[in-house]
Amino acid sequence: MKSDPIFDDIHYQAQLDLKIQTLAEDFKEFTIKNIEVFKSPIKHFRMRAEFRIWHTGEQTNYIMFDKDNKKPYEIYDFPIGSITINQLMPQLITAINQNTLLKHKLYQVDFLTTRAGDALISLIYHKHLDEDWINEARKIKTLLNIDIVGRSKGQRLLIDKDYVIEKFTVNDQDYYYQQVEASFTQPNAAICELMLNWAAIKSRHFGNDLLELYCGNGNFTLPLSKNFNKVLATEIATSSVNSALFNIEKNQIDNIKIARMSSEEFTQALDGTREFYRLKEINLKDYNFSSIFVDPPRAGLDDKTLEVAQRFENIIYISCNPTTLKNNLRQLTQTHKIQSFALFDQFPYTHHLECGVILQRI
């Protein structure tokens, strides 16, 4: 197993400098005046974590697998995890080791936390969960002051809810987000808040209406809505759509509409080549789109969505994969100029990073 990262300013900055150097070299074919760099906290930045469970005799513990040799090694603390995760880890594993029913055939434990200290723990099993399990899980809920989701094949039991509420502050306004168990959320809360502020500041003078693709739970949608007359956002995952609607209502925002559609489907609707029942209460002709926001999966934008993005005056692009971003920019810069470029150190001590790009039509 490779040695663990050293969590201090010097070692953190060294790994970040390497990312900056690599990114600048990879994107040298584009005219980028300046790369804005947003640092992560050195420790306790991950709000969620997943651990496999290892049973050795009567003892159970968290493990992770070395990515090189696949060898399991036991985990006793998790410095990159939130303070809450690190507080709960020993308390939970002690309680599980003292409870034969909860320990039996436990396969995995997932933590989902907030900066305020709220926590949801998923216990995943290779067995059927019955009423006895529910009763024992409730004792853990009371002991640790957490919510629990029990998972097994064909089962998903809630004790008592399956989400936490996170708060981000953007331009001095607080936004509250439902983050649901097993649904995507940004893992690094501090970087997420920096990304939201960056996108909101860069688009504050765009005006007219905004189209957003891949909106998730409305992470960017809520604060960006302040900059536009109306926002139409699309998302394909039903759980994310439900959370987005929850978050819109919780934050009392009245200029956002959500459509449960893929980007490919919405492109068909926008071009008038296909009608969708899911858009029956949305008239696309009512929108005066001048800007598009995209936060695609690692595969980036497909060819048709790229072509659609080029129709807009302004493009806000958040990318979790610099390789596909670079490929997409080769087409987008045929019609648009890069105005801003940012590096967000979403995943310290790994080669992964997040980028933000603002493009305006030439």
- Which residues form the catalytic set? 320, 354
Alpha helices in the chain (DSSP H): 9-26, 83-97, 100-103, 131-144, 189-202, 221-224, 238-250, 263-271, 303-309, 322-332
Instruction: Find the length of the chain.
Output: 362
Cα separation, 63 vs 157, whole angstroms:
24
Residue 289 near residue 211, CB atoms below 8 Å: yes
Q: Is 303 helix (H, G, I), strand (E, B) or coil?
A: helix
d(CA 354, CA 359) in angstroms, rounded, equals: 17
Tokens (6 digits) for 260: 């449960």
Q: Which residues 6+ apart lie within 8 Å of 320 measured at CB? A: 297, 298, 346, 352, 354
Q: For residue 352, give the nearest of 46, 63, 77, 86 by alpha carbon.
A: 46
User: What are the CA-CA distances from residue 195 to residues 4, 51, 105, 268, 333 (Å)?
Assistant: 28, 27, 40, 30, 22
CA pair distance 200, 110, nearest whole angstrom: 32
Question: Edge-to-edge strands of the sheet including 59-65?
Answer: 72-75, 59-65, 48-56, 106-113, 119-125, 147-152, 155-159
Rounded Cα gap, residues 178 and 289, in angstroms: 28
Q: 308 near 270, Cβ under 8 Å? A: yes
